[in-house]
Structure 1
Amino acid sequence: MSKAARDASVRARIAAQRETERKQEQRKRLTTIITVVVVVLAVIGGGWWYAAQQSKSETVAGGLAPVTVQSDGTAVMAKPGVTTPVLDIFEDPQCPVCKQLEEISGPTIKNLAAEGKVKVVYHPLTIFSQEPTRSNSLRAASALRCVSDGSQWIAFHDRLFKEQPSETAEGFKTDDLVKWGNDVGVTAPGFESCVKDQTQQAAHEQSSTKTLQDQKLQGTPTLKLNGTVIDNNTIFVPSALRQEIINAGK
């Protein structure tokens, strides 16, 4: 083989080796990039999963704590002997955000009361001044006052939020209120006539106005823990709300 031929053969082998090394380096870089992307996605996915778990609603675990209906239209949910911490819930049955709160954090509140970790006081109010929302709220909240049994009260309370009408439509009609009460087992004497005649409306309006003024409420829902307003960023995150209440009881 001539010298020129040998040199050409050497150059070809060197070129082939360099091409092999280049392809190997490309594969290594691609593997590194894929690994980094997978790790980043896992971290992001883990963050979303954690956030989702934090905001996940609880399921009512079992029986509720006893509920006692008060003469002022409020209802207290607490196990015997539990007096603190106190969670006051100021809500309007026509308020859409109150409905969201009930759906998201209502089970957590009920569970905590059943666990003996909090005394809950429900305050049904009417905050609306325009129609049809004001009349809707008045009919619903007044109907709640027609229920004296605690377990029936909370069942009717929950049904009202489930059936909440649009803010632009007339709803909570008295015939419907009576039917929903019967559906959830309300057996209070005179319930039907109390609802249809709106017997409790004047008392509700009076106490609602007084509560709004005394508590200096800006709107509903408002949750107070031992008299201090809980931030909205907490009340709509069940795990955060649970921890806040538990900490208050320590």
Structure 2
Amino acid sequence: MKLAILSCGPRSYSTRRLKEAALERNYDVKVLNTLKFAIDLDRGSPDLYYNQKALSHYDAVLPRIGASITYYGTAVVRQFEEMNVFCANTANGITNSRDKLRSLQILSRHHIGIPRTTFVKDKKDVLPAIERVGGAPVVIKLIEGTQGIGVLLAETLKAAESIIELLQSQKQNVLIQKFVAESKGKDIRAFVVGDRVVAAMRRVAQGSEFRSNVHRGGIAEAVELSDDYTETAVRAAQILG
């Protein structure tokens, strides 16, 4: 199998581990810089160039698209899809996952459990929205953000109102979300391949930090999922694409 890993960070840990795993299976694997592609379109003939040369055939692609290049990165992935190359993560799946509101709308429609969430623009709607999700404390999130950046905990109604007003004054779109106190700074990440969970980890926040992201100092530990959690993880991955 000839495999391409799309990544702007060939020396990053995740990219190196993917390449090592592919080599262990005797795959012909290359790391290709996502920003070095040129997308060519003609009637019935989508094509890709890499470093000014026509791209040779690949059987499959593993996209590692950073948040800062989502638009261009997903365009490249979409072009591979148009060329009938298997992509482990689809362009639509990547785009959906980068927009918190969009992903929650999709999961809600398919009856996947999510924290109660609201999205408002008018200042007059803020306090009623907070009450609808259960009142303070509430979690306030930027619609686009990774690694826990742009996720804030407002302990009081006044604090929530002030934070939202400040963010909206900076033209930011924000979500207001129920604070799940019983999680106690923990969450679970499941890695889904096809129709099964191949690995899962529990992330635990440290100290007074409520965000469990490893980039925020959280600690990760391997965990076995229950059947209910496994089913939900697989369904969510398939629904989002």
Q: Does 1 or 2 have the higher relative contact order (CA < 8 Å, sep 6+)?
A: 1
Which structure is higher in helix share?
Answer: 1
The reply to whether TM is greater than 0.5 is: no
Question: What TM-score results when the alignment is normalised by the length of structure 2?
Answer: 0.24
Which structure is higher in strand share?
Answer: 2
Question: What TM-score results when the alignment is normalised by the length of structure 1?
Answer: 0.23
